[in-house]
């Protein structure tokens, strides 16, 4: 007896899903080269700050305030990706009609450098653009790992279902933008390569536009 003979209908909704999106920038090599050059210039004048970074450099302030062409090009790409993902998950709002604050920073992780587990409170979307990602044949170097924000799921491991996995790790390539909700706990594995891993991370926060007086 088949399932169709037992049930009139059989439907499944994925409740409380957490979106994770990946965008690949076309012809990104030119942009990456310019971003690396601008990053080298910034590091010569900016000692950086410590946030989630361990053993690496984290730029100070909002990198999108930098008028350099490559930074503003990335700002436009990040904005486009954020709008695209927002429209993809909801047809009830046009993100272009909302006020969006976009803040970002550059990370450079040398050998052994990593980012500790953290979230980005107060924002809606967080993202990472991969400027330089060293090639590795095996291991976890260069991987970003996301941790399930739900609790009390260990018992579901027996079902071996992706929907109930406690962790998800990926190794993005240079030229990729990865977007995820800012509440999602994540961290970056230590860089095992002698080549630096360079990224630009960002947060996007939406607000309703202020009504014009008069």
Check residue 7 and give its pLDDT: 76
Give a yes or no: residue 173 inside a domain.
yes
Check residue 213 and give its pLDDT: 67
Give a yes or no: residue 2 inside a domain.
no
Give a yes or no: residue 212 inside a domain.
no
Count how many domains the chain has.
1
Q: What span, in angstroms and rounded, lies between the C-alpha atoms of 134 and 198?
A: 9
What CATH number is given to the structural domain containing 43? 2.60.120.620
Check residue 6 and give its pLDDT: 79
Is the model's pLDDT at 208 over the cut of 80? Answer: yes
Per-residue pLDDT, averaged over 8-34, amounts to 90
Is the model's pLDDT at 77 over the cut of 80? Answer: yes
Give a yes or no: residue 10 inside a domain.
no
Per-residue pLDDT, averaged over 183-198, amounts to 96
Check residue 214 and give its pLDDT: 58
Give a yes or no: residue 17 inside a domain.
no
Give a yes or no: residue 14 inside a domain.
no
Give a yes or no: residue 1 inside a domain.
no
Domain that holds residue 84: 23-207
Check residue 2 and give its pLDDT: 53
3 state DSSP class of 145? strand
Local structure of residue 174 (DSSP, 8 states): T
Is the model's pLDDT at 70 over the cut of 60? Answer: yes
Q: What span, in angstroms and rounded, lies between the C-alpha atoms of 46 and 57?
A: 9
Give a yes or no: residue 107 inside a domain.
yes
């Amino acid at each position: 007896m088949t399932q169709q003979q037992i049930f009139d209908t059989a439907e499944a909704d994925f409740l409380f899903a957490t979106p994770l999106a990946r965008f690949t920038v076309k012809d990104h090599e030119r942009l990456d080269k310019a971003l690396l050059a601008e990053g080298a210039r910034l590091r010569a004048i900016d000692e950086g700050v410590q946030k989630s970074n361990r053993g690496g450099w984290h730029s100070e302030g909002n990198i999108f305030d930098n008028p350099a062409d490559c930074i503003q090009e990335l700002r436009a790409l990040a904005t486009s990706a954020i709008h695209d993902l927002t429209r993809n998950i909801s047809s009830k709002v046009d993100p272009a009609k909302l006020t969006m604050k976009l803040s970002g920073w550059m990370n450079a992780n040398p050998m052994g450098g990593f980012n500790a587990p953290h979230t980005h409170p107060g924002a809606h979307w967080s993202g990472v653009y991969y400027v330089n990602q060293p090639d590795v044949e095996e291991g976890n170097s260069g991987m970003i790992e996301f941790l399930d924000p739900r609790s009390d799921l260990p018992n579901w491991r027996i079902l071996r279902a992706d929907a109930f996995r406690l962790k998800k790790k990926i190794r993005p390539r240079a030229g990729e933008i990865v977007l995820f909700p800012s509440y999602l706990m994540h961290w970056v594995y230590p860089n095992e390569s002698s080549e630096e891993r360079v990224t630009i991370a960002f947060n996007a926060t939406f607000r309703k536009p202020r009504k014009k007086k008069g």
